[in-house]
Amino acid sequence: MTNKLKLIGPITQLLTLDHLPVKGALKDEQLEIIEQAGILIEGDKVLKAGAWSPLKAEFPNAELFELEGEFVAIPGLVDCHTHICFGGSRAKDFSMRIAGKSYLEIAQSGGGIWDTVTQTRKLDLDELSAVTVKNANRHLSEGVTTIEVKSGYGLSVEEELKMLRAIKKAQESTGADLISTCLAAHMKPRDFDGSNSEYLELISSQLYPVLREENLTSRIDAFVEKSAFSPEEITPFFEEAKAWGFELTVHADQFTTGGSGVAVNLGAKSADHLEASGENEISILAQSNTIAVALPGASIGLGCAFTPARKILDQGGALAIASDWNPGSAPMGDLIAQASILATFEKLSTAEVLAGITFRAASALGLNDRGKIKEGLLADLVLFPAADYREILYHQGKLKPAMVWKAGKKVG
């Protein structure tokens, strides 16, 4: 049986983002904009995007979703880096940070990643799953139809499994696609009696087989940083992950360099953060197929430098932008607000920002079935109440979607 066709329109401006490359700088003139457009959907995919009137005439039997007013449509947003599965709050950390306390002072008063680990361990699987669903649904209502979600607040074999099982369960109760990533290598847990390498060895020998067996994730992340794991410690851990067939992604160059080199050398899908990347790191990244992911939410949350997005793009690199939504460094969780703020500091074109939160972010997740509005790709769409696409970033997160579609279904 064939699926009933759906036809949405007329849309004042439809930005397909078609024909744009994954790598390099973009100008707004490169954007394909269809005026007075319609989108024809078959099942979960786009069958055609084109002018409204001819589409309506050609497909008289399609179920019509006729719009009244002015709308701009873009592909459903992809947030390729979040930590939205967690327990508790770190409001106390934030108040100390804005009052000028250092990272060390905050950690010594019981804050930091370990505080969230303690609070996350207190929740059972169902409670953790409910938090994840709540955060995912808020993101979905803001147009984010694909959300990467990391573990990393469990930090033992059992607690990491609980997190990843909770993320898997959350998928049953949200319309957004959740892409899970194992971040057991977020830091060595304070209650582990052994070296960094011994902890990593425990994770790869005891956690990897279960991740495969239960199909909990296909992706492994690690925090490569002085306060977490060194390039030397993480390399054998990542090599083992590759041998198991996992894709890699790296928290890299956030405060000190080293992580981006590991990411490129091991062919990671993405290197995320990069606030500390210098000329050498930028050049190596730009020449690679590893997607550079800017996390402006962490720069805003910590009051730190932004990722050198302009330089990465100008050297031909691929730049995605993600929220890093987490309870510590990036509590805001507003992808459009953060991306538009990054753009003002780094001087990005609207085309570069939109690419960074759609198909380039999808590439960072290894997904080539979404992120553009074109035949054969998933019908993931966001419609904003505006007549000009530039309004989306101009309002810096305050222009909320009028309608969100995920895989051919209206979800908001």
Q: Is 180 in the site for ligand NIG (CB under 6 A)?
A: no
Q: Would the CA dihedral through 379, 384, 387, 389 be positive or negative?
A: negative
Q: Which does 288 bind (CB under 5 to 8 A by kind): ligand NIG, Fe ion, none?
A: none
Tell me which residue of 313, 248, 251 sits closest to 276, measured CA to CA.
251
**Dist. CA 174–CA 133, nearest whole Å:** 6
Q: Which does 217 bind (CB under 5 to 8 A by kind): Fe ion, ligand NIG, none?
A: none
Length, in residues, of the chain = 412
Q: Would the CA dihedral through 276, 278, 284, 288 be positive or negative?
A: positive
Smallest gap from Cβ 343 to ligand NIG, in A, equals 20
> What DSSP string runs through 80-92?
--------S--HH
Residue nearest to Fe ion (CB): 324
Cis peptide leading into residue 10 (ω within 30°): yes
Smallest gap from Cβ 327 to ligand NIG, in A, equals 6
Q: Which amino acid is at 123?
A: L
Q: Is 324 in the site for Fe ion (CB under 5 A)?
A: yes
Name the residue nearer to ligand NIG (CB basis): 117 or 377: 117
Q: Which stretch binds ligand NIG (CB under 6 A): 31-39, 135-143, 324-332, 392-400?
A: 324-332
When binding is defined by CB under 6 A, the residue of 116, 174, 260, 338 that contacts ligand NIG is 116
Residue nearest to ligand NIG (CB): 328
When binding is defined by CB under 6 A, the residue of 223, 359, 384, 389 that contacts ligand NIG is 223
Name the residue nearer to ligand NIG (CB basis): 142 or 148: 148
Residues 6+ apart with CB under 8 A from 383: 11, 67, 71, 72, 73, 401, 402, 403, 404, 405
> What DSSP string runs through 321-368?
E-----SSS-----HHHHHHHHHHHHT--HHHHHHHTTHHHHHHTT--
Q: Phi/psi class of residue 224: alpha, beta or left (left: φ > 0; alpha: ψ in -120 to 50)?
A: beta
Name the residue nearer to Fe ion (CB basis): 79 or 324: 324
Name the residue nearer to ligand NIG (CB basis): 83 or 372: 83
Smallest gap from Cβ 318 to ligand NIG, in A, equals 19
Q: Which stretch binds Fe ion (CB under 5 A): 107-115, 322-330, 349-357, 360-368?
A: 322-330
Smallest gap from Cβ 12 to ligand NIG, in A, equals 37
Token digits of residue 47: 């069958």
**Dist. CA 372–CA 21, nearest whole Å:** 11
Q: Is 328 in the site for ligand NIG (CB under 6 A)?
A: yes
Q: Is 79 in the site for Fe ion (CB under 5 A)?
A: no
Given the rule CB under 5 A, which residues bind Fe ion? 324
Given the rule CB under 6 A, which residues bind ligand NIG? 83, 113, 116, 223, 251, 254, 298, 324, 326-330
